[in-house]
Amino acid sequence: MTGISTKSLGQRIRKLRTDRSLSQDDLAKALGLHRQSVSLLEKGERDLTATELDELARFLQVSYDDILAPEVKEPVKGSTNKGIRFQPEKLKQLLLFILEEVGGRPNVGETVLYKLLYFCDFNHFEKTGKPITGMTYRRLQFGPVPQLNQFSAVVEKMLGKKQIQKLEHEYFGKPQMRYISLCDPDRDALSDGEIATIREVTEKLGRMSATQIEEYVHGDAPWEVTEHQAPIAYELVHWRTEPYALYTEEEVLSMMQDAAVADSEKHLDPLSQEEIEYYENLLDLSNAK
């Protein structure tokens, strides 16, 4: 199928499965295969069909590259968005806060969680020009997903410290991976504005099923205009229209003008006493007319 050997592909699939605490039976059910077929895949004794690849990527919430890349990629140290730095501690607190808000709902599995993270980061960027975590999100066919090595590194540390628990069970007849919070978020690590954004997102989208939130995110401009599997640029939030845009065009224009004035004022020297008296005289003359 690609430059990757069948044996390496099998090892990659096994690692992706075990990283999520999934059994071969779980994966077989998701792909519509017998467990023996999954075993052969992981041993490198069976090819992966295009249909199975699509189902595997959807189920594991990864890109095709995460499955088929000939070599394991170097960890991404920061966001591909220029000037935006990934903050692992912020991701940890965002995860804990989302799980505290909606983690107990049966619909909030990994698919829904990924979309809630995306909207928290992108909505906050639209509001403030800064995301909460700075995490990279990629455009997959079923919606945006976090950069795997950024997300997984934080989750593995949290699992090791018993701050969260990862569970797998059935939801409407399909395997669902979900996370349970075992500790409270550190609210001091999040600003009031960030907390407000998180609550807005969870209140609006936290009751959607995986299918509903996938359909919803497919109308969001940042996902729509990005090439398949490419990183989604935060700046694309400015292409949003209703119901995704948080501000009208007039409000955006006004904010841009205010920002431009503020920036220009930063470069102006304070008025001298002579200039103050000059403008006061102008004001007096104007009032006398």
Is residue 200 in some structural domain? yes
270 is a domain residue:
no
Query: Could you tell me if 112 and 208 lie in one domain?
Result: yes
pLDDT tens digits for 214-249?
A: 999 999 999 999 998 899 999 999 888 889 988 766
Q: What is the CATH number of the domain that holds 27?
A: 1.10.260.40
Q: Per-residue pLDDT for 263 more than 80?
A: no
Domain annotation covers residue 165: yes
CB 147 within 8 A of CB 137: yes
Residue 6's pLDDT is: 82
**Residue 253 domain flag:** no
In a domain, 133, yes or no: yes
What is the domain count for the chain? 2
pLDDT 10s digits, 30-75 = 898 998 888 898 888 888 888 888 888 888 888 777 888 765 444 3
* In the chain, alpha helices (H): 6-19, 24-31, 35-43, 50-60, 64-68, 88-102, 110-128, 148-160, 192-205, 210-217, 221-225, 249-266, 273-288
150: pLDDT strictly greater than 90 = yes
**Which H or E run contains 144?**
strand 143-146
Neighbouring C-beta atoms of residue 130, cutoff 10 Å: 15
Q: What is the predicted pLDDT for the residue at 77?
A: 39
Residues 205 and 142 in one domain: yes
pLDDT category, 168, cuts 50, 70, 90? Answer: confident
**Per-residue pLDDT, 53:** 87
In a domain, 281, yes or no: no
The residue ranking higher by pLDDT, 33 or 4, is: 33
Same structural domain for residues 97 and 58?
A: no
CA 198 to chain centre: 12
- Which residues on neighbouring strands pair with residue 180, listed in sequence order? 165
Digit-coded pLDDT (tens) for 69-95: 765 444 333 345 778 999 999 999 999
Radius of gyration of the chain (CA): 24
Is pLDDT above 70 for 3? Answer: no
- The answer to whether the pTM exceeds 0.85 is no
Q: Are residues 125 and 201 in the same domain?
A: yes
Q: How far apart are CA 137 and CA 234, in angstroms?
A: 9
Q: Residue 122: its pLDDT value, please?
A: 97
Cβ-Cβ contacts under 8 Å for 151 (sequence gap 6 or more): 91, 135
Contacts of residue 34, Cβ cutoff 8 Å, sequence gap at least 6: 28
Domain region containing 39 = 6-68
Q: Are residues 227 and 92 in the same domain?
A: yes
Q: Do residues 115 and 197 both lie within one domain?
A: yes
pLDDT at 279: 54
Kindly state whether residue 33 falls inside one of the protein's structural domains: yes
pLDDT (0 to 100) of residue 90: 97
Spatial separation of the C-alpha atoms in residues 28 and 45, rounded to whole Å: 16
| Region of poorest pLDDT, from 82-96, 123-137, 169-183 | 169-183
Residue type (1 letter), 148: L
pLDDT at 228: 87
